[in-house]
Structure 1
């Protein structure tokens, strides 16, 4: 496993009371936020886990993700543009693929849904039936078109309309793992 796998932070947060039953904030092309991620997966009958921090910088045609250890040391960066995704890890040569999900599957050996995060971090997803899903405290669960079971567990305090705070994502077999469970905690907007 590469250092990029270590990226993903122990994310213990307690449940919050729903803020309202309104749908999430309107979709934005520009998103800058920081958060934590923990991943548990089952490979060859053995439970494994990784955790870390992330910085997410999204523009209409580009997404930049910085992955860090739980202590904040940068481990890897991912740059995603139309038609190409590039992962840079320490002193290693950059790796690239036509899309970010293919790239992360090659590096990790299992699916990490980076392309889906463009929507998920804002409370949206494409449901299994192909319809656009907008989460809310009253409607927090959906299964995506690519098989992820999402639950928008908690919401940012004081955000009107609501914005996700914690997202749990689970998926069965993919790549060389039998199951993947991801917990994403959004700590808030990126520091200036």
Structure 2
């Protein structure tokens, strides 16, 4: 059970990323498409390596972001809240049921302290809206016709399906993110 809670905390960390500000300039993006304030919900699955063995995990997430704050709630597949992470420019706080909150100056420190290994994911704030910073440092805008990118920090992203792929600016419905021994699948159910 403790391993599962830590794994859910890892998922929260992945969702929260360290992205309080969008990565890369927004001037290339359509003005109406990128939003500083969003509320999303969905499901996710994570497969990571522990002691050379793949460890799968699934759950639900609720993502709320404003310009200076990201709050992510993670729940079991049955809906029980397992962890909440709040990220601000000043700190990252992980709260789990019946445990004292854990606070660190940034998300990487928090996940390293809680899990024993850091999750250096930045940019999920962008990914959930179909944006990323490519390995070349340029702003990537996903679309049904242009749906794969390797990010500056080594993640291979594939925007698999869309909320409405005929919209002028389609929003992602499923995102696959892979890097080294970690694979994450996000299915966004509401926007």
**1:169-188 residue pairs with structure 2 within 5 A?**
169-172=177-180, 179-188=181-190
TM-score (structure 2 length as normaliser): 0.81
- Distance, in Å, in 2 between the alignment partners of 1:131 and 1:88 is 35
Could you report, residue by residue, the CA deviation over 1:115-140 in whole angstroms, capped at 9, with x for unpaired residues? 42101000011111111111111110
* Alignment partner, residue 39 of structure 2: 32
SS in 1 for 2:78: coil
**Unmatched 5+ stretches in structure 2:** 12-28
8 Å CA contact 2:72, 2:86 repeated in 1:
yes
* Alignment partner, residue 162 of structure 1: 170
SS in 1 for 2:54: strand
Could you report, residue by residue, the CA deviation over 1:25-66 in whole angstroms, capped at 9, with x for unpaired residues? 621000101011100112222111111000000000001100
- Distance, in Å, in 2 between the alignment partners of 1:124 and 1:105 is 26
8 Å CA contact 1:4, 1:67 repeated in 2:
no
Does 1 or 2 have the higher relative contact order (CA < 8 Å, sep 6+)? 1
Question: Structure 1 residues 113, 166: CA separation in 2 closer, same or farther (over 3 Å shift)?
Answer: farther
SS in 1 for 2:123: helix
Shift of 1:2: 5.2
TM-score (structure 1 length as normaliser): 0.80
**Unmatched 5+ stretches in structure 1:** 9-22, 173-178
